[in-house]
A and B are shown apart, each in its own frame.
Chain A
C-alpha cells in the first residue's frame, strides 16, 4: 500500500491496530515516544500517548494529561458503564483531561501532521477518534536585539525563529480588531507555517487575495527561510532589485502594516517579509521616524548621497581618468596622474581589482568567527590600503575612491539592498571603463529604465517619485514631522486619514 492511501485511512477502533499503523508510517524513529497506560487503572480502557521527543513540553503532558488520567482516587464508577466510543470521548474531554486545547481527528493524515507539529496524540482502545493535545513546546532563542537594521533610538526587540512569538510581537503593536492573521502551510515535506498579517480596511483592496494566490501557487518540498517565499512571489525574479522587503524589526513590520502593506511571517526564520515594497524604503530606517524630524531628514539625505556614491563613484572616477581628463580640475588631474605614475595596471583593471579585494575582505570578515573577523579586516585594510600603494600596485586615489564607495555602501541600512546596488555597480564600472561617458550613460539609463518598469504587487517600484505623488513627498526625500503627515501613503484606498488635522503644537491663543 502506498503512502498516500495509508495516510487517507481513518483511524481504527482497536488500539493495537492504530499503533501498528503509526509504526509503519513513521518507521522506527528513535524520537517517537509511546506511553501505554490504563485510564484510571481500569483494565478495560487501554490507552497510548504518542509524541515526538523534543517538540513537546513533557511537564505539561505530565500535569495535564497523565496526572488526571492515572489518578485513581476519584470516583470512576461512571467509566465502567460507558460502552459507546462517543461517550468515552465526551467523558475524556469534558471530565478528565486538564489540557486547555483538545482536538479530535479521525484520519492518519491528521494524526501524523499533528504529531510532527509537536502535539501529543492520545489513542484510546475502542474509540473511533483520537485526541490531539496541544503540547507544543521546544527551546527557542530569546528575543534579542536584531543584528541587522540596528537603531540608536527605538525598540530593541527583534523577531525570533518561532512564528507564534513573531506574530505576537506584531500583534502587541497593533491592538486593532481589524488586524487579521491568516495561516497556511507551505512545503510538501517541511509543512512550514506561514502567516500573512494585515489590517482589514487599511490594506489596499485585492492585495490580500493577490498575496494568498501567489503563496498558494508555491509547490515545493521545503521552506527553510523566508527568501524561498520571496523568490517565489517576486514580481521581478531576474532583477537585481528586490521587490520584497525583509526585516527583523517588529516595529518596522507593524509600521508597514499600518501603511496598508501585508506582512508574511514564515516559521523558523526571524526575517518577516513586507509587500508591496518601494525602492526608497530600503534607504529608510526606523530611526528616521524616532528622532526629531530635522535629524531624521538629514540622516535620510546622507543615505541618499551614500546610495549615489556607492552606485557611481568608481565608475565616474574610471570614466574621467581614462576618457575625459579635461573634466578634471587641473590640480586634481596632476595629482591623479602623479599617483598613477608607477601603477602598472590600466585604471579599469585597477578599479576592478580593488573592488574585488574589498568584496573579499567584506566576505571574509563576515564568514569568520567574530574575533577572527576583526583580524581579517585589519590585515586586509593594511594590505589594501597601505602596502598596495607603497608597492606601487594601486594609486592612492583609487584606494580612497574604493574605500569611500565601500563606506557609502555600508551606510545603506538594508544589507541586501546594499549588496544589490553593489552588483549593479560592476556593469556600470566596466561600461564606463570601456566606453567612457557613453558607456556610463548607457548602462545607467538601462538600469533606470529597468527600475522604472518594475512593480511590486501592483505598485510602481519607484513610487512616489515616479510616478510622482505630491502628498507622499512628506516621507520620501525628507521626513516630515509626525503632526504634518496627515495621510497614509497614496496607495491606501479605504482609510487615508492617519491623524487629525492641525496638531502642530503651539501656544494657546
Chain B
C-alpha cells in the first residue's frame, strides 16, 4: 500500500511539473535571419525574418494558402534585447532563435562597434555559434526582408550562399564562433564577410525591368579594429585575403591569351599556402608561398600553338595575378587599416614564441611595417576534355 502511495505521488508530481519548459514547434516563430540597424536617434532596430511554415511548405499535406513564406518585422529599443522583446508586441508566436541562419549587421552599426552584438548573440542560449554573421553596407533590414536565392525561405538561401562560397572565393565564411574567437584573441582583429543587394534577379514576366529584382551577393570583407569596422576589401582583395585565413577553394582567374586577343579562364584546383615568419636583426618579415595546381577551363583564342605550349605562358600570368591579389590586399590591410586581421602575429608567435613576448605589445605598430614577400608557384596541368585548342577547320 505504501509503495502504491509513493508511486502515485511521483506520478502526480510528474504531471504537476508537467510541460514545464514545453513549447511546441508550432508555437514558435522560427527566425531565419536577423538584421541589426541603428536608427537616427541612436536606437537599435532588430529586424527578424520569421518563417511561416504553412506557406513555406504549401504542399506538406495540410492546405495553406500560397502566401508569403516569410514574415518580417522590426522591433526597436535601446538595447538589442529590448528591441527583440519589442518584436514580441506584434509576433503571435514566441521568437525562437534556434534555427537562425545568419546575422546581418549594417555598416553603420559595425563602424560604431559590435561588442554588444557579439555579447548578446554568444550569451543567448538559443543561438548557435555556427550562425553566419555578415556586414552589409546599407540597411540590414533591407537585406533581411528581401527575397533572394532559390530556397523558399531567403534565410536558407543566405545559409547556402556560404556553403558554396568557396566556388567564388570572394568572401570568408564568418560565423559567431570565429568572430568571438578573433575578438577575444590577443593581437588579432576580426573580419566579417560582406553582402550587398544588387539588382540582378530576373522576372521573366516583366522583361522591361530585366535584372531589376534585388538579390544578395557576397561582396568582400569588412575588417575590424577590435569591435569597430575600419574598412572593407573589394572582392579581388578579398581573394588575396582568403589565402591567409581559409582556403581559396575553386576560384577562377580571368586572363587574356598570351599573344593574341581572347579570354582565358583558369580554375584553381589544389591550393597550398604557407606563411613563413623570419626574425633577423630585430626585423620581422614574412614569406608567403602559394602553390597551386590549376585547370585550364576556357581558352578563347584561335592560337596555332598546342595546349602544352600555351599553358607554359599562362602559368606565369596566373602567378602574377595571384601575386597582385595578395600584394594589393597587403597594401590596404597594412598601410591603410593597420590591423592584423590576417593573423601574421599568430604565425610569428607559433614560430618564435621566445621573441613574441617582447614584440606583442608593440605588434600594432610593427604590423604595418612588416615586409611580406610573396612567392607564387603555379602548375597549370589540365586542359580537361580537349586535346588541342578549339580552331576553325577551314584552312
Contact = CB atoms under 8 A, between A and B. Distances in A.
Interface of A: 321-323, 325-326, 328, 330-331, 333-343, 346-347, 389, 392, 395-396, 431, 434-436, 439
Given A325-B98, A340-B26, A341-B54, A395 B18 contact: no
B53 A338 contact: yes
Nearest to A320: B25
B337 interface: no
Interface of B is mostly: loop
Given A325-B25, A333-B25, A337-B30, A435 B17 contact: yes
A145 to B, nearest CB: 41
B156 to A, nearest CB: 7
B377 interface: no
10 contacts: A325-B23, A325-B99, A326-B98, A328-B25, A330-B101, A339-B62, A340-B24, A340-B25, A346-B24, A434-B22
Nearest to B56: A334
Contacts of B51: 334, 337
A337 B21 contact: no
A337 B62 contact: no
Contact of B53 (A328, A337, A396): A337
A335 B25 CA distance: 10
A339 B14 CA distance: 29
B177 to A, nearest CB: 16
B326 interface: no
Which of B20, B23, B99 is most buried by chain A, counting CB atoms within 10 A of its CB? B99
Contacts of B61: 339, 389, 395-396
Going nearest first, the 7 A-B pairs with the smallest beta carbon separation are: A326-B98, A338-B57, A396-B61, A337-B53, A338-B53, A340-B26, A341-B54
A435 B19 CA distance: 6
A322 B23 contact: yes
Contacts of A342: 54, 62-63
A190 B172 CA distance: 84
Q: Which range contains the number of B residues in contact with the other chain?
A: 20 to 34
A395 B62 contact: yes
B286 to A, nearest CB: 41
Nearest to A337: B53
Contacts of A431: 14
A323 B22 contact: yes
B311 interface: no
B369 interface: no
B90 interface: no
B62 A331 contact: no
Contacts of B63: 342
Contacts of A333: 25, 30, 99
Contact of B64 (A335, A338, A395): A338
Contacts of A396: 60-62
A335 B98 contact: no
B193 interface: no
Contacts of A389: 61-62
B9 to A, nearest CB: 16
Contacts of B54: 338, 341-342
Nearest to A329: B99
Contact of A392 (B62, B99, B159): B62
A331 B32 CA distance: 11
Contact of B156 (A331, A434, A435): A331
B113 to A, nearest CB: 29
B28 interface: yes
Q: Find the residue from A337, A389, A439 having the highest chain B CB count within 10 A.
A: A337
Given A328-B25, A435-B20, 8 more contacts: A330-B99, A334-B30, A334-B51, A337-B26, A340-B26, A341-B64, A396-B62, A434-B15
A338 B22 contact: no
Contact of A435 (B14, B26, B98, B128): B14
A81 to B, nearest CB: 77
Nearest to B16: A434
A348 to B, nearest CB: 8
Contact of B25 (A331, A337, A435, A436): A337
Among B19, B23, B30, B156: residue with most chain A CB under 10 A: B19
Given A331-B156, A434-B14, A343 B26 contact: yes
B110 interface: no
B25 A336 contact: yes
A321 B15 CA distance: 19
A347 B24 contact: yes
Q: Which of B15, B51, B57, B64 has the most chain A CB within a 10 Å cutoff?
A: B57
